[in-house]
Amino acid sequence: MPNDPAPRHPTLADVAAKAGVSASTASLAFSGSGPVSDATKERVLAAAAELGYAGPDPRARSLRRGRSGIVGVVLEERVRAAFLDPVKIRTLDGIADGIAPLGAGLLLLPDLGEGESTLTIESAPVDAVVLLWCGLRSSRSIEALQARGIPIVGIECEVGEGLPRITIDNHEATRRGAEYLRELGHRDVAVVALPFDTVRRRGAVSDEQVAAATNVVTLERLAGAREIYPDAPAVETAASSIEEGRIAGFTLLDVDPADRPTAIIAQSDLLAAGVIGAAEELGIDVPGELSVIGFDGIRVDGLQHDLTTLDQPSAAKGRAAGEAVVRLLAGEQPESVAFTSTLHIGDTTARLG
Amino acid sequence: MPNDPAPRHPTLADVAAKAGVSASTASLAFSGSGPVSDATKERVLAAAAELGYAGPDPRARSLRRGRSGIVGVVLEERVRAAFLDPVKIRTLDGIADGIAPLGAGLLLLPDLGEGESTLTIESAPVDAVVLLWCGLRSSRSIEALQARGIPIVGIECEVGEGLPRITIDNHEATRRGAEYLRELGHRDVAVVALPFDTVRRRGAVSDEQVAAATNVVTLERLAGAREIYPDAPAVETAASSIEEGRIAGFTLLDVDPADRPTAIIAQSDLLAAGVIGAAEELGIDVPGELSVIGFDGIRVDGLQHDLTTLDQPSAAKGRAAGEAVVRLLAGEQPESVAFTSTLHIGDTTARLG
DNA sequence: CATCGACCTCGAATCGATTCGAGAGGCCGC
DNA sequence: GCGGCCTCTCGAATCGATTCGAGGTCGATG
């Protein structure tokens, strides 16, 4: 046995040598369709099996081919958090569906590496990228991707000139919800808002904060509400979750009943569920004393009510984004797509009085 | 303006040339910590900015470095389906948590490319792989990964000698659940089982089918139930979903009341919820006329009952797998981890009679 | 018998960056 | 004023596979 200090893994060259062919021929034998005689191909495969060669190295292959077969999905904040938000899950589901023809994998990427992150948007070997509710941070990354010629699709995300975007009618839909509350006779309406930017805060929001906000979805929905209720106070939350909704609910409801709003527009169903929970804990009847309207149209875990909400097609949004990716990679120029939400009237809203 | 037929993207070499340094120096300037003077580094960065160079190509970098910063998660079947299963979501969540120290991205891979899939387990540029409820198909892939020296961790998955596995006490837990039913006086108990292998079927399961099954989880849970009820009939489902549970529920319950089981052991909470739904549609009272026990301990969307179930720590399982990956990549030899489920007694089980 | 294809196989260039050891200056101390 | 050391920079090799055009062999045809 000769010295074998470095038990490296076999490479294509090793296989080729063992099979008595050139590396190029071996490569052809593996890629399948090349003009290689059956005998040769078999010999190469046999040599590979004997050496324990498991096929071409994906890294080298993707370098040479220029494609990795991976589509990145950029999530604001931690990857973990995305798994807790049913809307994101549904959207991811749709994306997976939409890119199915590519046979590509889905790489989940946090927007900003949390300090130690080695794999960032810029350093990930992706063929295309879908941005999901991206914040301001992404703008530099977007430039980097564009410089590298990587197709980008944005979902609810300002993504720059000429790039396809998937959106819904945040403003218009919320306005419709607010109008419905007005028809029910409500005059004192408050908004429980999604985060305004990537710095997560809680509590009442001043006009300056609104002006400085970067989260487009939050702003559009807020503007839609204020088109009907220009003076509606807004409470910011740190995330879209039931617990955050509950906290915001207490802020708005645990006050002198005279100062209490009669209706609350929550910017997500999870927040709405939290608000309803807070109301119940405070002995406030929903919808008798308080009407609550949500956004998303998900079914909230544990919520006993049929939430009045603005039903948005999350999965369809994801699918549209996936399809846009496919077309971009095919060299086409897909259009942006704007979806529409529908007002679902449940049992959490009622006529005032 | 000279002819510019191929508007290629700039490479490190271009930047180096523009900055008047060698490619090696430019590389050092980008990787940051190398012994490069500030003046030079600045010059390189300026040249890069001017050329619109967005940093080193991830593909080339990963080829040279031998690491891609990606951890693959192999899901049986379609990626899409995983997003619909709360248990998988929770586990993914845990994995993301566990590998956080790596700062790596999470690449979701279907077990078998659905025909056209280009990115398979073997051809994905991953540094490590977590197998999630993998089926038989994976075994070839596992060999390929091992041949390439890629660390593997299995969750509820036979993964081969010496590789760390994350498991729960499927057999023992189900036995405990069955014992509880026996204590309640039940004698006619049926099992609504998860899929037996990757060929999705529905309906009553014969002994031959059990013998030929490959899904370890299904088998272990079935064996646990049959330790107490050796003759318990089993119905196979095509997936873990409420709808599948409903279908199986009808199979078992839509019969002569004399032939009806008095209790059903469902192998997942979603299946249990479906069974309960079927019972309600058939006018069978739960738990009055039928006791139902689930597995997982998730809260099922829309289910009004507090399900009696075997609560398993899904997120912890994922986290343990993630941590095992981290340690494998650090050259350590992590142990397998076996978690324990606890019997949660809700209001879907009752004493017989 | 010579020539023309058809069919395989091979060499060499390429993808883009990283890394290691060597070498070139500049600065300090004696 | 000179040797030695330290700091920065560069060349060249390497990672592993793919691809294109060239060349070689063999059978068939005029």
pLDDT tens digit sequence for B21-75:
999 999 999 987 778 888 899 999 999 999 999 899 999 999 999 999 999 998 8
Tell me, yes or no, whether A259 and A328 share the same domain. no
From B133, B143, B116, B249, select the one nearest B197 (Cα to Cα): B133
> What pLDDT, on the 0 to 100 scale, is given for residue A2?
41
> At B117, phi and psi to the nearest 5?
-60, 130
Tell me the chain B residues in contact with residue A59 when contact means C-beta distances shorter than 8 Å: 59, 62-63, 66, 68, 125
Contact A63, B59 (CB under 8 A): yes
Q: What are phi and psi of A195, to 5 degrees?
A: -55, 145
| Residue B6 belongs to a domain | no
Contacts B80 to A, Cβ<8 Å: 93, 96-97, 100
Partner residue opposite B59 with nearest CB, options A54, A55, A125: A125
> Does B301 lie in the same domain as B218?
yes
A106 in contact with B at a CB cutoff of 8 Å? yes
Would residue A350 count as lying in a domain?
no
Whether A125 is in a domain gets the answer yes
- A303 band by pLDDT with thresholds 50, 70 and 90: confident
Residue A110: predicted pLDDT:
76
- On the 0-12 / 13-18 / 19+ scale of CB atoms within 10 A, B263 is buried
pLDDT category of residue A112 using cuts at 50, 70 and 90: low
**Tokens encoding B249:** 């529920």
* Residue-averaged pLDDT of chain B: 90
Question: Which residues share a beta bridge with A168?
Answer: A339
Q: Which two tokens stand for residue B27?
A: 């590389």
Residue A69 has pLDDT above 50, yes or no: yes
Q: A126 is in which domain, residue-wise?
A: 70-167+314-339
- Tokens encoding B36: 């490069």
Confidence of residue B117 (pLDDT cuts 50, 70, 90): low
B34: domain CATH number is 1.10.260.40
Quote the pLDDT of residue B353: 74
Cα–Cα distances (Å) from B250 to B199, B265, B283, in that order, read: 22, 14, 12
In a domain? residue B283: yes
Query: Lowest mean pLDDT: which of B70-84, B122-136, B214-228, B255-269?
Result: B70-84
- How many Cβ pairs closer than 8 A exist between chain A and B? 156
Question: Residue B290: in which H helix or E strand, if any?
Answer: none
Q: What are the chain A neighbours of B297 within 8 Å (beta carbons)?
A: none
Same domain, A149 and A189: no
For B181, B194, B252, B349, the CA distances from B306, given in Å and listed in that order, are 16, 21, 22, 10
pLDDT band, residue B116 (cuts 50/70/90): low
Q: Are B104 and B185 within one domain?
A: no
- What does the pLDDT read at residue A4? 41
pLDDT band for position B115 (50/70/90)?
A: low
* Mean pLDDT in residue range A64-88: 86
CA at B272, C1' at C27: how many angstroms apart?
A: 80
* pLDDT for position A7: 57
Q: Per-residue pLDDT averaged across B79-87, rounded?
A: 81
Higher pLDDT, A6 or A229: A229
Say whether both A239 and A332 belong to one domain.
Answer: no
Residue contact B105–A108, C-beta within 8 A:
yes
Q: Do residues B190 and B118 share a domain?
A: no
Domain presence at residue A145: yes
Would you say A295 and A266 are in contact if contact means Cβ atoms under 8 Å apart?
yes
Q: Does A33 touch chain B (CB under 8 A)?
A: no
- Domain tally, chain B: 3
| Residue A5 confidence (pLDDT) above 50 | no
Q: How far apart are CA A90 and CA B67, in angstroms?
A: 31
With contact defined as beta carbons under 8 Å apart, do B218 and B212 qualify? Answer: no
Alpha helix ranges (H) inside B262-352: 269-281, 314-329
What is the arithmetic mean of pLDDT over A11-15? 93
Give the pLDDT mean for B154-167. 89
> Cβ contacts of residue A4 below 8 Å, gap of 6+?
none
CA dihedral defined by B82, B87, B93, B96, rounded to 10 degrees?
-70
> Residue A144 is part of a domain; what is its CATH number?
3.40.50.2300
- Judged by phi (left if over 0) then psi (alpha if -120 to 50, else beta), residue A208 lies in alpha
My answer on whether B181 and B293 are in the same domain is yes
| Domain co-membership, B220 together with B279 | yes
What Å value separates CA B238 and C1' C25?
74
Distance CA B148, CA A125 (A): 20
Per DSSP, helices labelled H in B255-309 are 269-281
Classify residue B194 by its DSSP letter. P
d(CA B157, CA A197): 41
Question: Do A245 and A206 belong to one domain?
Answer: yes
Q: pLDDT digits over A314-333, tens only?
A: 999 999 999 999 999 998 99
More confident residue, B292 or A81: B292
DSSP conformation letters of A207-252 = HHHHHH---HHHHHHHHHHHHH-TT--EEE-SSSSHHHHHHHHHHH
Q: Is B77 in the same domain as B105? A: yes
Average pLDDT value for residue range B270-282: 96
CA distance linking residue B243 with residue B288, whole number of Å: 23
Say whether residue B152 is in contact with chain A using an 8 A CB cutoff.
Answer: no
Task: Examine the domain organization and report whether B305 and B243 are in the same domain.
Answer: yes
| pLDDT of B135 over the 80 cut | no
* Cα-Cα-Cα-Cα dihedral sign, residues B108, B114, B119, B124: positive
* Dist CA A226 CA A241 (whole Å): 23
* Assigned domain for A6 exists: no
- Mean pLDDT to the nearest integer, B250-260: 96
Residues B187 and B256 in one domain: yes
Mean pLDDT, range A187-204, rounded to an integer: 93
Is B344 inside a domain boundary? no
Cα Rg, chain B, nearest whole Å: 26
Rounded average pLDDT over A82-88: 86
